[in-house]
Amino acid sequence: MDFSRDFIALACNKGVLRFGSFITKAGRNSPYFFNAGLFDDGISFRALCGFYAKAIRAAGVPCDMLFGPAYKGIPLVAGVAIRLAEEGLNFPFAFNRKEAKDHGEGGTLIGAPLAGRVLILDDVISAGTSVRESVEIIRAAGAEPAGVVIALDRMERGKGTQSAVEEVRATFGIPVIAVATLEDLIGFLADSPELAANLDAVQAYRDTYGIASTH
């Protein structure tokens, strides 16, 4: 989709997406590194939230409200709610704070009461821990997870044959919507003369660690 390429261009310009040699948490040598936390000023973060809003609208997943897991999901859920409201879609939103866990409450919710079909907003899915916690919080409140929206799907195998995104889909039976995927990134590099030198390394990484098929 056009907005996926536009998002990758923004990520490159902002230094959120970098190319080189990076060791991932899994110990893999990755030719690219993505850190959504570097959308750290008003203009770029507003643009990021706009891309999430576009992805949500394009996917058409039925939902009643938005949830942002602490901590990265907190500004994200507020920003995306604002961007959707600017387009005439007014969703309630909520987030959790982690500090309350030592009081035995399992996290304290802030914002609108969790109800109906709840869309989870996160930056990436690596181990799926954040999604699992979010699903538990939502279900404990008597609501139902509607799906997860992330910035980038690395389309990379975990310990088995599935990617973290595929594992979330299979485990919870909910859709995962990505603003952009590794395939979008490869297409962007192929069309970008100044970045094309990175294309072979990214494709080789995909051949080594990528999932067998796409959906």
Q: Indicate whether 19 pLDDT > 90.
A: yes
What pLDDT is recorded for position 47? 98
Q: Indicate whether 29 pLDDT > 90.
A: yes
What pLDDT is recorded for position 25? 82
Catalytic residues: 101, 103
Q: How confident is the model at residue 104 (pLDDT cuts 50, 70, 90)?
A: low
Distance CA 26, CA 21 (A): 14
Q: How confident is the model at residue 26 (pLDDT cuts 50, 70, 90)?
A: confident
**CA-CA distances (angstroms) from residue 13 to 38, 79, 198?**
11, 21, 15
What pLDDT is recorded for position 182? 95
Q: Does domain 2-209 have CATH number 3.40.50.2020?
A: yes
What pLDDT is recorded for position 31? 97
Domain boundaries in the chain?
A: 2-209
pLDDT digits (tens, 9 = 90+) for 122-177: 998 877 788 999 999 999 999 999 999 999 999 999 878 899 999 999 999 999 99
| Stretch 102-125: mean pLDDT | 84
Average pLDDT of the residues of the chain: 92
Burial call 156-179: b when 16+ CB within 10 Å, e when fewer: bbbeeebbbbbbbbeebebbbbbb
